[in-house]
Amino acid sequence: MSRLATKFAEFKKTGHKALIPFITAGDPSPEFTVPMMHAMVDAGVDIIELGVPFSDPMADGPVIQRASERALEHKMSLRRTLEIVSDFRNSNQDTPVVLMGYANPVEAMGYEDFSQSAQAAGVDGVLTVDLPPEEAYECATLLNAHNIDQIFLLAPNSTNDRIKKMDAVGSGFLYYVSVKGVTGACHLDTSDVQKKLIDIRANTQLPVGIGFGIKDAETAKVIAGLGDAVVVGSVLISKIEANLSAPDIAKQEIIELLKSMRFTMDNQD
Amino acid sequence: MTDTTNSYNMPDERGHFGPYGGLFIAETLIPAVEELDTAYQKHMTDPEFMAELDKDFQYYVGRPSPLYHAERWSHELGGAQIYLKREDLNHTGAHKINNTIGQILLAKRMGKTRIIAETGAGQHGVATATVCARLGLECVVYMGAVDIARQALNVYRMELLGAKVVSVTSGSKTLKDALNEAIRDWVTNVDNTFYIIGTAAGPAPYPAMVRDFQSIIGREARQQCLAQTGKLPDALVACIGGGSNAIGLFHPFINDAEVKMIGVEAAGDGLETGRHAAPLCAGRPGILHGNRTYLMEDDDGGIIETHSISAGLDYPGVGPEHSWLKDIGRAEYVSITDDEAIEGFHALTKMEGIIPALESSHAMAYTLKLAPTMQQDKILIVNLSGRGDKDMHTMAEREGIKI
Ligand SMILES: Cc1ncc(COP(=O)(O)O)c(C=O)c1O
């Protein structure tokens, strides 16, 4: 069983809801990322999503686009992202790490080489925004052979048939994108999420993470009451962006926000 | 060469041209392309839809466009008889409208009220703004900030036509970034918005659909050539940005194995400098903007910034069908530098009194090389994809003239 599946099985028993932060590898600098990952684990997160910077992040809003650009200025790449995971694994063998990015860097490296290198680095899941299940079969098969989960995004307009398709090709968890839009959009409607989850649950046994548009502890709490995991990204990256000359302050603010989310998520009324 | 051309039947039902094409997009857009695919499959075989399209081609676009025997130029080059397919005479001055007029008819039947598009040279943006004005639909055009500066005239034209032109300042601020931004808009407004992609690229069904709308070029050219000369052409030449004017000319000849097809990419400062826009000549396969195709990318799979004097060719990818035609050897792909394109521009202007677009000038420049190597009884059809009015400022500036 993959590290992700094991974790989610544990959480299911205890009713624990996973908190999953997203940061872009190498933003604002390559040195920032590994210590930030450890600090987030100390703050109570369960799984870490690392963005792999790409020149053309079509599904991302301005905040994550700029994070990608900053990381690329430091020559961050898929290979160097794997080195970051490997560094992190030197002192943490427990927290699952999911890479999130676009198909072309993986394609350029080659699916076989990537699957091997990712496993060697200690990656647990891969989420490729522009690789829907129709096109993902080859990649998913290779990743699974290396004990890595291929994770798919579900959208508000995904039909039941598509949920079934992702259930068949995907593993680890499904990531429900709670709004139609790019990352960082801000019109999440929790009652819509609640309705959609009924369809999703009816078509898959996989755990469901929910993200896009979660910015504060109160929303995290509500979402944790609905799904199995809460994913937060743009709001964390905004803090990096607001403190480019003082990354320690960014780190501190991120930790505080994650702690407050952890607290509200664990204290459902 | 694989013998797949006798009954060429691409793409497959999932939009693949061999390993190329496909559907590499975010989940939110899947229902939108599925809806589009259903509408496209339904209407392309619907006589009523096709009749409406034909009528618009004839009375609004001004088709058929002439196939013009450039006798003086042919004589001067001393080789093949050069025939120009005059897409520059279409309404709005380029082949782009063949596609926008088709897609807007689909949008209308699908009940979409808001149209978005990306543009490089501004020709596709103008062609989109034009058909939106005609139907009274809201139109938003994404255009890189660099392109806005070098194609100011077309920006003004789009605005006159009622479109909102959004300046894209991310990345390299050119066509690829305009595409990214259009895709972001589409994801956000997917319910009421139709995305009119301007070339034969993007997720399925766009590459095949745009090809089908542009194939009017090749269907007419084939008939006209037979009528005027009694035989098929020996070779076809067209410039390649995303590849829509080229595939539109090529496709109706694809089963005529004796007709050579040559696509001309932009070599910019020269392929050896790395400053070019020639993925088929100097790139490798990868995934961008919804399809697998030849791309210009670095070792890490990052997309490289391109360079061409012509904004309409300044794109790091190419339509997937060209990738396939290259691999199976059915078409040949060559490249022309900025300087050579300028020679082609002047040659046609001086010899025939026709000022070509800088994009089309790449095809003219290759004609300068190719025609003299062919015998005088050979026929060469060159796609004159657009007129050069939009490029007056670029040309004048390059030659140190203030206008
Ligand atoms: C006149 C003209 N020719 C050619 C092109 C290149 O596009 P494509 O390769 O899709 O024909 C453009 C694009 O803007 C254009 O304006």
CA distances (Å), origin A162, targets A125, B17, B34, B290: 20, 24, 12, 18
- A48-77 pLDDT, tens per residue? 999 999 999 999 999 999 999 999 999 999
Which CATH number fits the domain A3-266, given the four candidates 2.40.50.140, 3.40.50.10320, 3.20.20.70, 3.90.870.10?
A: 3.20.20.70
What CATH number matches the domain at B15-56+96-205, 3.40.50.1100, 3.20.20.70, 1.20.1250.20, 3.40.50.300? 3.40.50.1100
- Cβ–Cβ gap A107/B286 under 8 Å: yes
* Residues of B that are catalytic: 96, 118, 385
**Cα(A124)–Cα(A3) distance, rounded to whole angstroms?**
6
Residue in chain B lying closest to A54 (CA): B302
Distance in angstroms (rounded) separating the CA atoms of residues B76 and B93: 27
Q: How close A77 gets to chain B, by Cα (Å)?
A: 6
What is the pLDDT, as a whole number, of residue B6? Answer: 63
Quickly state the pLDDT bin for B152 (edges 50, 70, 90): confident
The DSSP H or E segment spanning A51 is: strand A48-51
Average pLDDT, chain B: 96
ipTM for this prediction: 0.95
Q: A185: pLDDT confidence band, cut at 50, 70 and 90?
A: confident
pLDDT recorded at residue A182: 84
Minimal-distance CA residue of chain B relative to A80: B300
Q: Residue B354 and residue B387: Cα distance in Å, rounded?
A: 8
Specify the ligand 1 atom closest to the Cα of B199: 10
User: How far is A41 from A216, CA to CA, in rounded Å?
Assistant: 18
Asked if pLDDT for residue B287 goes beyond 90, the answer is: yes
What pLDDT does B174 receive?
87
Distance between CA atoms of residues B370 and B236, nearest Å: 11
Residue % of chain B over a pLDDT of 70:
99
- Asked if B301 lies within 8 A of A159 by C-beta distance, the reply is no
To the question of pTM greater than 0.90 for the whole model, the response is yes
CB B393 within 8 A of CB B403: yes
* Active centre residues of A (catalytic): 49, 60
A77 vs B170: CB contact, 8 Å cut-off? no
Q: Where are the domains of chain A?
A: 3-266
CB contact under 8 A, B289 and A58: yes
Model confidence band, residue B2 (pLDDT cutoffs 50, 70, 90) = very low
Indicate whether B4 pLDDT > 60: no
pLDDT score at A58 = 92
CA distance A111 to chain B (A): 12
pLDDT, tens digit (0-9, with 9 covering 90-100), for A99-149: 999 999 999 999 999 999 999 999 999 999 999 999 999 999 999 999 999
User: Do B15-56+96-205 and B62-93+211-398 show the same overall fold?
Assistant: yes
Name the B residues in 246-285 with CB < 8 Å from any A CB. Answer: 285
Residue A181 has pLDDT above 90, yes or no: no
Strands B20-24 and B16-17: antiparallel
Residue whose CA is at the smallest distance from ligand 1 atom 7: B241
| pLDDT band at A189; cut points 50, 70, 90 | confident
Per-residue pLDDT band for B150 (boundaries 50, 70, 90) equals confident
Whether B58 has a pLDDT exceeding 80, the answer reads yes
Out of A102, A108, A132, the one facing B30 most closely (by C-beta) is A132
The answer to whether residue A106 neighbours chain B at the CB level (below 8 Å) is: yes
> How is chain B split into domains, by residue range?
15-56+96-205, 62-93+211-398
Q: Tens of pLDDT along B136-148?
A: 999 999 999 999 9
> Which residues have any ligand 1 atom within 6 Å of their CB?
B 94, 96, 120-121, 123-124, 199, 239-246, 312-313, 357, 359-360, 385-386
Distance of CA A78 to the CA centre of its chain: 16
| B1 pLDDT more than 60 | no
CATH of domain B62-93+211-398: 3.40.50.1100
Q: How far does A66 lie from chain B, in Å, by closest CA?
A: 9
Cα B313 to ligand 1 centroid, rounded to whole Å: 7
Q: Which two tokens stand for residue A102?
A: 């676009």
What are residue B263's DSSP bridge partners?
Answer: B238, B333
Q: Provide the pLDDT for residue A142.
A: 98
Task: Report pLDDT digits (tens) over B161-214.
Answer: 999 999 999 888 989 999 999 999 999 999 999 999 999 999 999 999 999 999
Q: Which amino acid is at B2?
A: T
Residue numbers of B between 31 and 50 with CB closer than 8 Å to A: 31
Task: Give pLDDT tens digits for B268-277.
Answer: 999 999 999 9
Per-residue tokens: A30 = 């390559």
CA distance A151 to A123: 12
Nearest to B94 by CA among B134, B62, B136: B62
Q: Please, what is the average pLDDT of chain A?
A: 96
List of E strands, B269-398: 284-288, 290-295, 332-337, 379-384
| Amino acid B249: pLDDT | 99
Contacts of A94 (CB under 8 A, 6+ apart): none
